[in-house]
Amino acid sequence: MTDASLDTMTPEAGFGDYFALLKPRVMSLVVFTALVGLVVAPVSLHPFVGFVAVLCIAVGAGASGALNMWWDADIDAHMKRTRNRPIPAGRVAPGEALALGVALSGFSVVMLWLATNALAAALLAFTIFYYAVIYSMWLKRWTPQNIVIGGAAGSFPPMVGWAAATGAVSVESILMFAVIFMWTPPHFWSLALFVKSDYGDAKVPMLTETHGRRITRNHVLGYGVALAPVTLLLALSPVGGPVALAVALAVTLWFTAACWRVWSRDELAAIADNYAVEKRAFRISLSYLFLVFGALLAEKALAVWGLGGWGGGWAFGIGG
């Protein structure tokens, strides 16, 4: 290639374009929940090994994001929110995204295995497979329940973090998984309510398009209510404590009220205020997860001074 051809070529990708393939915003949630799973575990890892474990989980999540962008490039090109992503914008070739996703998947799983244990690595490998194959390639274009079942992929990171520290899966890590799993539907369906045209244009069977907005509002409230007992149970588990329980109660009331408001009004009212209530429910859902998991970190920090927790067992005495 000569420099004389520079102006006529397809743009070359910069480093930032490859980084964007890893969905850094999604990665921040993965890093946070994985870190909480790792830190609140009853077994402490060496800080450097813990850092490497969280980094591997983040890179694994990023790799599945790259594979998702490779597979969904046609959908992304139709949606306003995603059409400027590196592949539909023409800055990265689809094959490059595939290669990056596969390579980083392999690196992250093997490195997590070497740094911690085989169970954590296997869980990470399954998470990548679940997101890239089960969610992206299968569920997303097939069923309006894609968000519910596919949400499991985003729920695994705290379980992987816990497994990295303990080498096991336990009730606490399953509860952390369950909180994110139940949280995902109202979170995404709130989003879908105010970005309706995008999913329709891309022919993604989002619940708003297939079953209508009234049903979607019902689902937001249903899952919002179903999330409450799971969050409270996590706060009552050995990784919870009085602070976690207080926070869980407060955010549960806050989020359930937001879901109630989404449910209790019709489309005309939503259009009148430009979906302010739905946008608010979406924002509260983001705070919800950070506060619930942040409270678990606070309990762990308080335990250093002999405070917090339920005395090493459940709040109601099982295993305590």
Partner 1 sequence: MAIRVTHELHQRRRSRNVGLLIVLLGFVAIVFGLTVVKVTRLGDASAFEGYDHVVQPGLAEVAEDAGDGDAADGASQ
Q: Tokens standing for 154?
A: 């985003």
Question: Position of tokens 């969050």?
Answer: 231
Contact call for residues 23 and 70 (beta carbons, < 8 A): no
Nearer to partner 1, 12 or 268 (CB): 12
Contact call for residues 92 and 156 (beta carbons, < 8 A): no
Say how far apart CA 146 and CA 165 lie, in whole Å.
31
Q: Tokens standing for 63?
A: 């790799």
Nearer to partner 1, 10 or 268 (CB): 10
CA neighbours within 13 Å on the CB side: how many for 15? 0
Could you tell me the smallest distance in angstroms from the CB atom of residue 25 to partner 1?
Answer: 19
Helix, strand, coil percentages in the chain from 3-state DSSP, rounded to 5: 75, 0, 25
Nearer to partner 1, 112 or 248 (CB): 112
Q: What does DSSP assign to residue 11?
A: P
Nearer to partner 1, 2 or 306 (CB): 2
Could you tell me the smallest distance in angstroms from the CB atom of residue 115 to partner 1?
Answer: 6
Could you tell me the smallest distance in angstroms from the CB atom of residue 169 to partner 1?
Answer: 12
Binding site for partner 1 (CB under 8 A): 3-4, 6-7, 9, 11-16, 18-19, 42-43, 45-46, 48-49, 52, 55, 111, 114-120, 163-167
Could you tell me the smallest distance in angstroms from the CB atom of residue 16 to partner 1?
Answer: 7
CA distances from 224 to 23, 142, 250 (A): 26, 24, 14
The angle formed by the CA atoms of residues 293, 299 and 301, to the nearest 5 degrees, is 105
- Three-state secondary structure call for residue 39: helix
Say how far apart CA 168 and CA 118 lie, in whole Å.
10
From the list 206, 231, 210, 208, the residue with the least C-alpha distance to 285 is 231
Could you tell me the smallest distance in angstroms from the CB atom of residue 306 to partner 1?
Answer: 18
From the list 154, 137, 143, 12, the residue with the least C-alpha distance to 70 is 137
Could you tell me the smallest distance in angstroms from the CB atom of residue 111 to partner 1?
Answer: 7
Nearer to partner 1, 49 or 73 (CB): 49
Could you tell me the smallest distance in angstroms from the CB atom of residue 31 to partner 1?
Answer: 16
